[in-house]
């Protein structure tokens, strides 16, 4: 009898393990996903996806499907909320004290295995109840498909590098915007909906499911997590020292090897792997400036669709199991980061990063490969041999250093006429106030010099880089001027938008391009008279002009530059040209203001 009982227990163990890997297909009549029903040949349409979630909602009172907005083509955007406490609003969820985890799928809608894995996982939590305990100590949010219009622009030819499904969505939206370059600036209507949702719910962890391009190797799962210098110390420690080692261990025990997202110089991983710090235009770069860690999940394009879906399922399961078993360390890490930010940042704040060039040696599960001469391109390309797996010892350049910083001000002051920028600040959760009476204050202003525009647009905008010269002055600001206090949780968001040198600032994305444009002019007959008067009355100016003629041949040979030399030094020159209209207040002030919402 004892031996029989042992056999039954072991058989039960085998059944559970198999269910975890097969998404419990044999125990969920009526809730088979499209991928499972087609042996992972197909993925569901958006209507089928939402109908599936609605059936889950009808069958369980632990899930609520919320409409959060509408796409440009008129499709409803949904957020699924899973809560054992039935905390289906941001306020109710925050009141539980549990970590809130947001999973988003299909931001690049051809990379859709995360959607199928999420549907199966939600079913196994709510219907099969194999993972019902995952809701004991967390609240789960799922965006089933982010780029919905792109998802419905389905074709077998959308991702040339990817194995399956038979037909898949397109990378960008109907307006041809890549949503994973649109965080922070939020030009796309879909991103504006998502940002309102994110700011309202303030999830403790973001999981963003993707599929790779690039090199070939053995891993089905690669990832990045915000554990570098862009993250507060409490979050770096939680992510790098506690959370990911535990998740990696769980996946290893389940038969899945995982490695950091593979970025190579060239196509051959044996030459070394590189990490990077994502700027806020990307999902994980955005979440961390809100003091929320982000996990980028990249399934491997050349693994078949079934392998990718099941591995994506296994990864999310391991992440959620670890958080459910140890929920408070994440909550505490985020709380510490929020409190430190809201108390006021005083140290130089990092805006940009670069790879340090330092590396550690790691084992990497790759394939043998060779460089092949291309008769088409006149160069070489890399051919991989998946039947020849190899363990490589490669350098991993995994550390970043700060390359651009700024001293946080006490406040920013924004003239009220810059309404688009003010609205985007509010959209991103930045708390705003408005002067109720005029303010005269010592401030810092930026003069923007050496602007250089990209030759081609990026995501619909012509980006600009420039230098920023700081000018200290005293200025009076009228009532109605917008005040951005930096003692708030969204201080880092404000700095990334308002500091011109930040990689995804308003200036960088072209929101302030008009400040670079001259709007008034002077005719030669007028400047000739003006220049003669200026030379006759200002000896120092005459010396400067003659020295410039002597030293600068371009200036000497350009009549326009010579005329403009005098115009720009005259009272007629535009005072606001190349001057950034946002002021920095670097000292504490008594400010008469009131809350403001656009």
Q: What is the pLDDT of residues 515-527, one digit of tens each?
A: 999 988 889 999 9
Q: What is the chain's alpha carbon radius of gyration, rounded to the nearest angstrom?
A: 28
pLDDT at 549 exceeding the cut of 80:
yes
- Do 249 and 150 lie in a common domain? yes
- Do 305 and 323 lie in a common domain? yes
Looking at residue 445, its pLDDT comes to 98
Mean pLDDT in residue range 160-167: 96
pLDDT at 294 exceeding the cut of 90:
yes
Q: Give start and end residues of each alpha helix (H) in 305-444.
A: 305-325, 328-342, 419-427
Mean pLDDT in residue range 248-257: 97
Mean pLDDT in residue range 292-309: 98
Domain for residue 356, yes or no? no
- Of 343, 359, 381, the one marking the end of a domain is 343
* pLDDT band at 98; cut points 50, 70, 90: very high
Domain for residue 136, yes or no? yes
Looking at residue 220, its pLDDT comes to 97
Mean pLDDT in residue range 282-289: 98
Q: Give start and end residues of each alpha helix (H) in 364-469.
A: 419-427
- Do 230 and 262 lie in a common domain? yes
pLDDT at 266 exceeding the cut of 80:
no
Best CA proximity match to 312, nearest among 564, 120, 152: 120
- Do 414 and 534 lie in a common domain? no
pLDDT at 93 exceeding the cut of 60:
yes
C-alpha span between 166 and 159 (Å, rounded): 11
Mean pLDDT in residue range 8-17: 34
Mean pLDDT in residue range 433-460: 97
Mean pLDDT in residue range 196-207: 98
249 near 315, Cβ under 8 Å? no
Q: Which strand (E) or helix (H) includes residue 33?
A: none
**Any idea which of 22-31, 100-109, 285-294 has the lowest mean pLDDT?**
22-31
Mean pLDDT in residue range 202-227: 96
Mean pLDDT in residue range 23-40: 80
- Do 147 and 286 lie in a common domain? yes
What's the chain's average pLDDT?
Answer: 93
* pLDDT band at 319; cut points 50, 70, 90: very high
Looking at residue 1, its pLDDT comes to 37
Beta carbons within 8 Å of 392's beta carbon, 6+ residues apart: 269, 270, 363, 364, 365, 366
pLDDT at 10 exceeding the cut of 80:
no
Q: What is the pLDDT of residues 57-77, one digit of tens each?
A: 999 999 999 999 999 999 999
- Of 299, 319, 343, the one marking the end of a domain is 343
pLDDT at 313 exceeding the cut of 90:
yes
- Do 442 and 294 lie in a common domain? no
- Do 334 and 450 lie in a common domain? no
Domain for residue 47, yes or no? no
What is the pTM (predicted TM-score) of this model?
Answer: 0.92
Residue 509 in tokens: 């994305």
Looking at residue 22, its pLDDT comes to 45
Best CA proximity match to 441, nearest among 575, 593, 591, 595: 591
Domain for residue 285, yes or no? yes
Domain for residue 309, yes or no? yes
Looking at residue 30, its pLDDT comes to 84
- Do 535 and 435 lie in a common domain? no
- Of 343, 369, 389, the one marking the end of a domain is 343
Looking at residue 27, its pLDDT comes to 52
Q: Give start and end residues of each alpha helix (H) in 372-445.
A: 419-427
Q: What is the pLDDT of residues 391-400, one digit of tens each?
A: 999 999 999 9
- Do 528 and 514 lie in a common domain? no
C-alpha span between 313 and 316 (Å, rounded): 5
Domain count, the chain: 3
Looking at residue 28, its pLDDT comes to 67
Domain for residue 38, yes or no? no
- Do 488 and 559 lie in a common domain? no
Domain for residue 240, yes or no? yes
DSSP line for 40-99:
TS----HHHHHHHHHHHHHH-TTEEEEEEEE-TTSPEEEEEEE-TT---SHHHHHHTT--
- Do 337 and 274 lie in a common domain? yes
pLDDT at 118 exceeding the cut of 60:
yes
C-alpha span between 547 and 218 (Å, rounded): 66
Domain for residue 366, yes or no? no
HSE (side-chain half, CA atoms, 13 Å) at 454: 12
For 471, the domain range is: 404-518+577-596
Mean pLDDT in residue range 539-567: 93
Mean pLDDT in residue range 368-389: 93
Mean pLDDT in residue range 122-131: 97
- Do 76 and 155 lie in a common domain? yes
Q: Give start and end residues of each alpha helix (H) in 78-177.
A: 90-95, 113-126, 148-152
* pLDDT band at 23; cut points 50, 70, 90: very low
């Amino acid at each position: 009898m004892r031996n029989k009982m042992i056999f039954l227990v072991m058989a039960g163990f085998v059944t559970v393990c198999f269910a975890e890997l097969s998404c419990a297909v044999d125990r969920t009549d009526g809730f088979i996903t499209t991928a499972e029903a087609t042996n992972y040949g197909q993925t569901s349409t958006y209507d089928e996806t939402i109908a599936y979630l609605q059936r889950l909602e009808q069958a369980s009172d632990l899930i609520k499907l919320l409409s959060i907005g509408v796409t440009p083509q008129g499709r409803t955007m949904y957020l699924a909320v899973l809560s054992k406490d039935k905390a289906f609003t941001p306020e109710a969820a925050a009141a539980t004290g549990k970590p809130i985890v947001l999973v988003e799928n299909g931001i690049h809608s051809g990379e859709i295995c995360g959607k199928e894995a999420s549907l199966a996982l939600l079913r196994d939590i709510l219907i099969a109840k194999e993972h019902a305990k995952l809701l004991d100590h967390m609240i789960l949010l799922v965006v089933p498909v982010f780029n919905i219009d792109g998802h419905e622009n389905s074709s077998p030819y959308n991702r040339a590098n990817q194995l399956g499904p038979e037909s898949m969505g397109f990378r960008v939206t109907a307006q041809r915007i890549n949503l994973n370059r649109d965080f922070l600036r939020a030009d796309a209507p879909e991103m504006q909906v998502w940002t309102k949702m994110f700011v309202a719910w303030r999830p403790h962890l973001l999981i963003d499911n993707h599929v790779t391009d690039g090199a070939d190797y053995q891993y089905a799962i690669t990832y990045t997590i915000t554990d570098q210098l862009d993250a507060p110390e409490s979050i770096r420690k939680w992510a790098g020292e506690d959370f990911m080692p535990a998740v990696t261990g769980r996946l290893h025990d389940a038969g899945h090897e995982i490695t950091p997202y593979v970025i190579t110089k060239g196509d051959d991983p044996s030459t070394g792997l590189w990490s990077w710090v994502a700027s806020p235009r990307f999902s994980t770069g955005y979440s961390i400036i809100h003091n929320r860690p982000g996990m980028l999940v990249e399934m491997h394009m050349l693994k078949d669709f079934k392998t990718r879906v099941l591995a994506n399922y296994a990864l999310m399961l391991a992440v959620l199991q670890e958080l459910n078993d140890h929920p408070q360390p994440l909550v505490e890490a985020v709380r510490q980061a929020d409190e430190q930010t809201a108390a006021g940042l005083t140290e130089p704040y990092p805006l940009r990063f670069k790879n340090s060039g330092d590396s550690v040696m790691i084992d990497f599960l790759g394939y043998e490969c060779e460089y092949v001469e291309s008769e088409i391109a006149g160069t070489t390309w890399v051919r991989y041999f998946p039947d020849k797996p190899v363990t490589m010892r490669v350098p991993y350049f995994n550390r970043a250093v700060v390359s651009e910083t700024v001293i946080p001000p006490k406040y920013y002051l924004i003239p009220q006429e810059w309404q688009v920028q003010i609205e985007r600040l509010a959209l991103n959760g930045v708390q705003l106030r408005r002067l109720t009476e005029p303010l005269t204050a010592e401030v810092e202003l930026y003069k923007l010099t050496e602007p250089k525009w990209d030759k081609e647009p990026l995501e619909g905008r012509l980006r600009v880089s420039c230098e920023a010269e700081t000018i200290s002055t005293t200025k009076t600001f009228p009532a109605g001027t917008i005040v951005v206090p930096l003692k708030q949780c969204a201080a880092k968001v404000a700095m990334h938008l308002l500091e011109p040198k930040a990689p995804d600032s308003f200036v960088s994305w072209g929101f302030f391009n008009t400040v670079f444009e001259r709007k008034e002019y002077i005719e030669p007959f007028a400047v000739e008279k003006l220049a003669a008067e200026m030379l006759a009355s200002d000896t120092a100016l005459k010396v400067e002009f003659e020295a410039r003629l002597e030293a600068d041949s371009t200036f000497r040979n350009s009549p326009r530059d010579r005329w403009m030399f005098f115009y720009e030094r005259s009272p007629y020159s535009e005072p606001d040209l190349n001057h950034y209209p946002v002021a920095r207040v670097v000292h504490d002030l008594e400010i008469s203001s009131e809350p403001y919402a656009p």
